[in-house]
Each structure stands twice: as structure tokens, then as C-alpha cells.
């Protein structure tokens, strides 16, 4: 059983080595992400910042103010 396992292991190792050599000699072609990834990322950051900048500065939202102490209960009407 031991020689059979050693032979299988060497076949797997040889296959991995052949794959590595093949990929090392292949010319790398730029993909879509290599060409445009940075520009798309920067565009998204710009859009995100613009939208949230508008929301935080133009929409009248009172952030985190508690009504405790400012609201007084009215008299009970029967």
C-alpha cells in the first residue's frame, strides 16, 4: 500500500508542478478589473460621498437629540 500511495503523491505533485510552469510562461492579459477596477472604485466612492454629503447637509434631520425635558405633558381632559 505504501508504494501505491507514494506513486499517487508523486503524480499529484508532478501535475501541480506542470500547471505552475505552464502558468508562469503564459503571457498575462489584463482583465476588465485590471483595466477599469480603480476607476470604478473611485467613481463609487465619489458617488457615495456626494449622496451622503447632500443628505447630511441639506436634509433637516435633528441628530440624536432627546425629547426628554423638552416635552411637557398637557393637562388631562375629561
Q: Given CA atoms 13, 17, 22, 26 in this order, what sign does their dihedral have?
A: positive
Q: What pTM does this model have? A: 0.44
| pLDDT per residue as tens digits for the range 33-47 | 888 999 999 999 999
6: Cα within 13 Å, side-chain hemisphere: 3
Q: Is a pLDDT exceeding 90 seen at residue 50?
A: yes
Report the range of poorest mean pLDDT among 27-31, 47-51, 59-63. 59-63
What whole-number distance in Å separates Cα of residue 7 and Cα of residue 14? Answer: 10
| pLDDT per residue as tens digits for the range 12-29 | 777 777 777 766 666 678
Amino acid at each position: 500500500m505504501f508504494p501505491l500511495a507514494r506513486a499517487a503523491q508523486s503524480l499529484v505533485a508532478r501535475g501541480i508542478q506542470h500547471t505552475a510552469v505552464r502558468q508562469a510562461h503564459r503571457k498575462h492579459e489584463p482583465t476588465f478589473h485590471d483595466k477599469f477596477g480603480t476607476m470604478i472604485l473611485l467613481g463609487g466612492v465619489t458617488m457615495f460621498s456626494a449622496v451622503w454629503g447632500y443628505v447630511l447637509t441639506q436634509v433637516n434631520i435633528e441628530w440624536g437629540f432627546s425629547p426628554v425635558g423638552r416635552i411637557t405633558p398637557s393637562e388631562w381632559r375629561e
